[in-house]
Chains A and B, each alone.
Chain A
Amino acid sequence: MRVEYINPFVEAAFNILKEVLASDVHRGELYLKSTATPVMGVAAIVGLAGDVEGRVLFDMDKPTALKIASAMNGEELKSLDELVRATITELANMITAQAVTKLHDLGFKFDLTPPAIFTGENMEIHDSDVEALIVPMETACGKIEINVAIRERA
């Protein structure tokens, strides 16, 4: 993955999470992964197209998703309902959109697909031939892993 793409995603994730959760956020060590990625329970995915092809996956476990949705909506949410899903989807959209805006300012043209959300247990995601950059984010609500896999269009 091009070096120029890394920072916009890390910064956007950091800024947005800090803003919506109104609490401290810590970034873990970045690393690369190319094997199947287990999904923790709730995963929002945004596709990217344009100069590049790829996707960004926001992965967290169910309690974290509930806590984040509660914090963002300002009310206690207990089950993974429509509102929680919509909130997490929106979070994914906000972070990706800000990253893409930053990239646009640097001269890279990306388009987004509408986000989709996956929930369930024991899920894995396989991308053939693309290695993913993992950006772990520790928040007061729990851990979110942002999994960015982008490659240049051949």
Chain B
Amino acid sequence: MAQTETATQSAEARKTSGDKIDFKMITFSLAGKEYGIDIMSVKEIAKAGRFTYVPNAAPFVRGVYNLRGDIISVIDLRTFFHLPAERKEEDALESLLILRIDEHVFGVIVDGIDKVVAISSAGIQPPHPIFGDINVKFIKGIVENSGKLYIILDAAMIFAPSKAAEEAVHAEKPKVVPPVLVEPAREERAAPLAQAGEDVGASFVRESLAALKGFHITDLNELWFQRRYSEWRVVRKNEVQIREPSDAETFLEDFWSPSSGMLLSPDFADSLERILPGNESKTLNVWNPGCGKGYETWSLAVILRRRYPDSRVKIWANDSDLLAISMAPNMVFPDKVPDYYAEYMTTGRNGQTFIQHIRDSIFFEFHDILNTNSLPPLDIVVCRDLLSLLAPVDQRRLLDDFSDKLKPAGILVLGSNEVPGSGWRSAGSGAVSAFCKE
């Protein structure tokens, strides 16, 4: 009996120690939802109004405010997150959280400030990518307290004048429509649903491609699909349906980018070399997911060597096909290679191989792109024809991943018949389908 009691007691003790209160947050509301922010970053709270307007500031900056002699800038968090904000009278007072991030003090306008809530940091759950209203990178986590769910914002991430935050703001910008409207539109884009007014044949073809070849039609390749399908209808007349894998292969024949599975043709390499922007930095980080047997990566290494002779180029090339990627590091070319590459090769016993300098610039990795991709900030991502073979959600997720990892002036190269959608502007020419972040 006594033993049981001790057991229960110790279990209880463990429970309480697990629930140790070690995180305090100020809770507030934005557009009817509850949020929290680490109390350590909050200097004080205040009611204030009549902010001094600053011309040419970002739309979410309401102005500056004189806080007992210190001039602080005031940011409207609702505008920042594109949430609806009620327009108040000219003289009305706003609820203001005064935050201190490193040396900087900011005023932040919210709908209403609630109270201080003490919780255990062990109870904070990681943010879920589909939170919707607020970009997930600004969210530290979510926590439940007395029946209410609070979204804890990461103050440092929002206000740090770091590049990461700046990029994030840029990425948010195109969404001027309230997010509520954006979300459903996004889903439509992701799902391979038949477009309105499209004939039934086309939607069957979409489904067959996904089922037989794992090829998903989304915004990424919709333009190509429309063109190809109208051609297909002319050629096949009444037999538009795709029943066999061989039909699907024929349908996809002209999708694949030029020079897949071999060294890039000198023409293509040349156009790619020409669109790459100047770069002063000493090192250049490049990611080449889905590199297969590695022909593309080797070509890329030569192109980059020609374009940036003074930079140290590092290419991370990965593929989840073990057999293909195993051969990549020791690739030998028994036959003649185009002159474009010849000067970077040496002749060995079995044929030609790339010179050590080129070899040293590439890391071939056995890696599944759907797992966590841990890479440094990137200058170039080359990912041709891979995304179309992934499920629509994964396509979306990887495009976001590319956007996160690319430096502000970074270049994304997709397959010749792929476009990344909103948030990107074209930077390519001809067969090179390249994009910059907006």
Contacts and interface: CB of A to CB of B under 8 A. Distances in A.
Interface of A: 1-4, 6-7, 30, 32, 34, 128-131, 133, 151-152, 154
A130 B365 contact: no
28 contacts: A1-B365, A1-B366, A1-B367, A2-B363, A2-B365, A2-B366, A3-B326, A3-B328, A3-B364, A3-B366, A6-B366, A7-B326, A32-B320, A32-B366, A32-B367, A32-B368, A32-B371, A128-B372, A129-B374, A130-B374, A131-B367, A131-B368, A131-B371, A131-B372, A133-B366, A151-B374, A154-B374, A154-B376
B322 interface: yes
A2 B372 contact: no
A101 B366 CA distance: 21
A3 B365 contact: yes
Interface string B327-349: 01100000000000000000000
Interface residues of B, number: 16
Contacts of B326: 3, 6-7
B325 interface: yes
A136 B364 CA distance: 22
A4 B374 contact: no
B356 to A, nearest CB: 11
A1 B366 CA distance: 5
Interface string B28-40: 0000000000000
B372 A152 contact: no
B275 to A, nearest CB: 29
A32 B366 CA distance: 8
A7 B326 CA distance: 9
Nearest to A29: B322
Given A30-B322, A129-B374, A2 B364 contact: yes
Contacts of B365: 1-3
Given A3-B326, A129-B372, A133-B366, 11 more contacts: A2-B365, A2-B366, A3-B325, A3-B328, A3-B366, A4-B364, A6-B322, A32-B320, A32-B366, A32-B371, A131-B371
Residue in B329, B363, B364, B365 with the greatest tally of chain A CB atoms within 10 Å = B365
A90 to B, nearest CB: 29
Contacts of A7: 326
Given A3-B328, A3-B329, A4-B329, A34 B363 contact: no
A131 B363 CA distance: 16
Interface of B: 320, 322, 325-326, 328-329, 363-368, 371-372, 374, 376
A4 B366 CA distance: 9
A57 B171 CA distance: 40
Contacts of B364: 2-4
Contacts of B374: 129-130, 151, 154
Nearest to A133: B366
B259 to A, nearest CB: 22
A30 B323 CA distance: 10
Contacts of A130: 372, 374
A152 B368 contact: no
A34 B368 contact: yes
A133 B318 CA distance: 14
A140 B367 CA distance: 31
Residue in A34, A131, A151 with the greatest tally of chain B CB atoms within 10 Å = A131
A68 B374 CA distance: 37
Contacts of B366: 1-3, 6, 32, 133
Contacts of B328: 3
A7 B322 CA distance: 11
A133 B325 CA distance: 14
A39 B320 CA distance: 24
The 3 closest A-B pairs by CB, nearest first: A34-B371, A131-B371, A3-B364
A34 B372 contact: yes
A152 B363 CA distance: 10
Nearest to B363: A2
A34 B367 CA distance: 10
A132 B115 CA distance: 45
A130 B374 CA distance: 8
B397 to A, nearest CB: 14
Contacts of A4: 329, 364
A154 B373 CA distance: 13
A2 B371 CA distance: 15
A3 B297 CA distance: 14
Contacts of A133: 366
A19 B326 CA distance: 26
Contacts of A128: 372
A129 B364 CA distance: 18
A64 B390 CA distance: 39
A3 B364 CA distance: 6
A1 B318 CA distance: 9
Nearest to A128: B372
Contacts of B329: 3-4
B407 to A, nearest CB: 15
Contacts of A3: 325-326, 328-329, 364-366
A128 B372 CA distance: 9
A130 B371 CA distance: 9
Contacts of B367: 1, 32, 131
